Structure 1
Amino acid sequence: MNQLNSKSFYNVAPIALDNRLGALDLFDQAAPLVPIGAWSCDLATERLDWTDGVFDIFGLTSDDALDRETTIGLYCEESREILERKRSQAIENRDGFTLDARIVRPDGIERWIRITAATGGSNGRTEKLFGMKQDITDDHMRWELLRAQAECDPLTGVANRTRFQRFLDQPCNGPVLDDIGTLILFDIDDFKQINDRWGHAAGDACLVNLADHLRKAFVNAHLVSRIGGDEFAVLLPSSVSRTETKVELQSLIASLLRPIQWNGCLVTLKVSVGIAFASKDGRYNPQTLFTTADEALYCAKNRKIFPSD
């Protein structure tokens, strides 16, 4: 009686009974063609049920005991945090979600998976999560390659403004900001005069030279980017101290002062620098950090000296 009167819900379209067997047979035939599988989780017991496809994706066998706590430990930290948040929201709102997550299997192989989740239950209460998991590692690698190409400055080989903009667009409490310690801006002084006197090919050579020096000087940088015609940005991790940063800068500036060989001539390159240090707790606005570094760069260009502050 209770079962008849209960109101069940599933946030996916129902399948007619007379078509269900055919649909299941079709799925069984097609499933081996792609690395995909079905899964479910009983919320009362946290019991997991996987098809063979999900076991294969995670590098496990159907003989392995399924334990949610152990399974969730295979997710990389950032993916795990996002998954847990989306899962909680789905349960609360009786809604579904999708997520691309990174896992490391027990054999050490890293994979990217796409999770599609739906909810089911009765009497307005979410009792079950279920859906599909698909291995999208190859697609993710192709996408990352395309994105890297789209975010690379073709002349210098460092990141372009689009890539740097991704940092500026981060929310103030975004996880990416936790490991940012310093933003340094570099600008070539009197760059137009170099182009006017020696030609644009010489100007290009100066840009390539500066980019090479930045890459070599800041091997641990999160990002080296050309953000304007003759302006570059470097993002350093929080593990690099302010003292270390200034020492590296002093050495870098000294090397940049050496003239560049161009068609048998020596081209002198002068660079101004602006520095901004992020707060240690990661609570700062990336746009404000950029503005601070840009103001320091402006002051340095006017003073024509290396900033000491």
Structure 2
Amino acid sequence: MKVEWIRQAPQIGMLGGSRSENLLDRATALAGIGAWSCNLSDDSLSWTSGIYDLFGLPRSARIDRREIASMYAEESRIAMECLRADAIVRRRPFTMDAKIMRTDGAERWMRLTADIVCDGERPVQLYGLKQDITEERARLETLRRMAEQDPLTGLANRQIFQSRFLDCAAPMKPLGALILFDIDGFKLVNDRHGHAAGDACLQSIADRLCAGFNDALMVARIGGDEFAVLIPPGSPDRRLELRVERQLTRLSTAIHWRGDLLKVSASAGIAEVRDPYAFDAEALFAAADAALYAAKHAGRNRVRRALPEVPHACM
């Protein structure tokens, strides 16, 4: 919503006044929008009806700026106070999205727009709008998840794995190892039982990987039957290998589907990092991929471990 600000001091009152003012107040409240002002001499607030509704307060409630600020989520409150102080010093407007906790415990998002009124060079008043954007944020979050998630399994998709790991100049978090999994016998499931069975198989594999690596930085589906798991540092070499072996046993457990038992297994390649904070992601991926190839070449349903960050060198 674009707002054209008028630099003269606004006249913001409570319900009352002319019939047209009451109608405007009710209409903006219905749209989740309210006007506000703050007298800088004593921090007294004045609201229209929409802001009372946004915070879940009765319209007869006494409003205190410190109490209202405490209803902001901590990160939003800190950002708001910084922007407010900067606006007063620099005499300029600001806009931000803030998360608040209503009196009934419900979390809401609002868009706060503010400008300043001066008496000569002296700031005397802040004023602006607050708009409920909770539904807008929910829609954006849904779109974000759709863009980042594999639609079948709900795991991170190849694009996110690529952008947050392979193409990222700095690691998202300290990394211990990359594990690549490839499903053995998946094509046979598709050929014998159809793609619906194959989809059920992939969903089950994804669930088992998430359960087996609940501490993972990311579990991603990076190909048709290929998965990647990013593990934080902390597991000794042998312990991590044993953990992957146990996971392979779980992945080879038959999957019940429409009265049939779907049998698959998996092969895995592990590549560990020397420095959790500085590593070559592409070299690490190549090392894990080479280890995975070695596992499949050795007979499948097993794990192989690459030398740390040395592509194509497998144990």
State the one-letter code of the partner of 1:143. Answer: L
1:51 aligns with 2:44: no
Which residue of the other structure, out of 267, 271, 274, is the alignment partner of 1:270?
267
- Verify: 1:225 aligned to 2:220, yes or no: yes
What do residues 123-159 of structure 1 show as CA deviations (whole Å, max 9, x unaligned)?
Answer: 4454432211111222322332233233321232323
For residues 154-193 of structure 1, what are the alpha-carbon distances to aligned partners after superposition, in whole Å with 9 as ceiling and x for unaligned? 23232323445675699979xxx6xx555754423597x9
Match of 2:149 in 1: 152
1:102 aligned residue: 99
Contact 2:96–2:112 (Cα < 8 Å) also in 1: yes
Question: Percent same amino acid among aligned pairs?
Answer: 36
Gapped regions of structure 1 (runs ≥ 5): 1-10
* CA shift in 2, pair 1:295/1:136, >3 Å: same
Contact kept in structure 2, 1:47 and 1:67, CA below 8 Å: yes
SS of residue paired to 2:77: helix
State the distance in 2 between where 1:82 and 1:292 align: 40
Matching residue's letter, 1:146: L
Q: Which of 2, 5, 17 is the aligned partner of 1:12?
A: 5
Corresponding position of 1:33:
30
User: Given the two structures, how large is their TM-score scaled by the length of structure 2?
Assistant: 0.66
Distance 1:53 1:278 in 2: 53
What pairs with 1:116-265 in structure 2 (closer than 5 Å)?
A: 116-164=113-161, 167=164, 180=173, 182=175, 185-189=178-182, 195=187, 201=195, 207-219=202-214, 223-234=218-229, 242=235, 246=240, 248-256=243-251
> What residue in structure 2 maps to residue 86 of structure 1?
83
Specify the SS of the correspondent of 1:272: strand
Amino acid paired to 2:135: D
Q: State the match for 1:6 in structure 2.
A: none
**Structure number having the greater helix percentage:** 1
Alpha-carbon deviation of 1:83?
2.6
Q: Provide Cα deviations, 1:263-285, integer angstroms capped at 9, x if missing partner.
A: 88854421223455996xxxx58
Query: How many residues are paired up?
Result: 281
Check whether the contact 2:88–2:123 (CA below 8 A) recurs between aligned residues.
yes
State the one-letter code of the partner of 1:107: D
SS, match of residue 269 in structure 1 = strand
Distance 1:289 1:67, change over 3 A: farther
Structure 2 CA distance for partners of 1:272 and 1:30, relative to 1, 3 Å:
same
Tell me the distance in 2 between the aligned counterparts of 1:221 and 1:187.
13
> Following the alignment from structure 2 to structure 1, what is the Cα–Cα distance between the partners of residues 220 and 124?
49
How large is the RMSD of aligned CA atoms in angstroms?
4.5
**Unmatched tracts of structure 2, length 5 or more:** 11-17, 296-303, 309-315
TM-score by length of 1: 0.67
Given that 2:176 and 2:234 are in contact with CA atoms closer than 8 Å, whether structure 1 keeps it comes out as no
